[in-house]
Amino acid sequence: MPKIVDHQERRLAFAEAAYRVIARSGIDGLTVREIAKEAGFTTGALSHYFQSKDQVLIQAASYIGIVVRAQMQDSQQSHKGLKALRLVVQQALPMTPEVQGGWRVWLGLWQRSRENREVGNLMQMRYFEWLDRVAMLVEGAQATGELAADIDAKLAAQTIVAAVDGIGARVMLAGYDIPARQQKAIIDNVIDNLPRGEGRPTKLPGRLRRKSRNGDAASRP
């Protein structure tokens, strides 16, 4: 009797393998042979599911999104206000080999996005979703009264994300050794410079209430 193949599971296995290859060797080390070897299948099996390297890259991006999203959602559900904001943003910093691997994937995707519109569209979507997540967390800190109610949450999110990107670029591209403690201190300094509120809970902004009902935005790093 022929073996029943779970095609979705097989595609996920290849996506996870591609992620591990990029995390270990960067996008330049991503080949059909290496992906298939990492997943424990033949190159023929891989070509049955993906017609190009870009399709594999897109699936790898989706895979890391699932992993990171779960971690960030756990922090958001376990904490609130500035605590949640700090924890989620810290999870995007390249402080550990695991997160640095994720950065290699994203940097590789950004590089490829200049040549492939589908990859570029995906990266833009993920990036704006990441900004939206941080903006929601800023609004959450406004709702607890820890941050001033008149802060432009979107602008604050852009400032925080720009700081994260700067750290990521220096560590991953320029090769600067920025210790985890210093990375946290940089982000804490950005967040600590946001105008403080009066310390009293306020009514949630409409966008935050709507997002809370309909589910979290996706994440980038």
The tokens of 210 are what?
């709507």
pLDDT number for residue 86: 96
For residue 30, report the phi and psi dihedrals to the nearest 5 degrees. Answer: -85, 110
The tokens of 90 are what?
């810290």
pLDDT number for residue 135: 97
DSSP string, 152-200: -HHHHHHHHHHHHHHHHHHHHTS-----HHHHHHHHHHHHHTSPB--SS
Task: Tell the residue number behind the tokens 């790898």, with chain if given.
Answer: 60
pLDDT number for residue 43: 84
Q: List C-alpha distances in Å: 138 to 74, 132, 159, 212.
A: 17, 10, 11, 14
Rounded distance between C-alpha atoms, residue 160 and residue 168, angstroms = 12
pLDDT tens for each residue of the chain, 221 residues long = 445 556 788 888 888 888 888 878 777 777 888 888 888 888 888 888 887 777 887 787 777 777 777 778 888 888 899 999 999 999 999 998 888 888 888 888 888 888 888 888 888 888 998 999 999 999 999 999 999 999 999 999 999 999 999 999 999 988 888 999 999 999 999 999 999 988 777 765 555 443 433 344 445 55
Query: Radius of gyration of the chain from Cα atoms?
Result: 19
Are 145 and 220 spatial neighbours (Cβ–Cβ below 8 Å)? no
Total-model pTM: 0.79
Task: Tell the residue number behind the tokens 């992906």, with chain if given.
Answer: 35
Q: List C-alpha distances in Å: 46 to 10, 31, 167.
A: 9, 11, 35
Three-state SS for 38?
helix
Where b means 16+ CB within 10 Å and e means fewer, 143-172 reads: bbbbbeeebebeebbebbbebbeebbeebb
CATH of the domain spanning 65-214: 1.10.357.10
Are 193 and 138 spatial neighbours (Cβ–Cβ below 8 Å)? no
The tokens of 152 are what?
């432009």
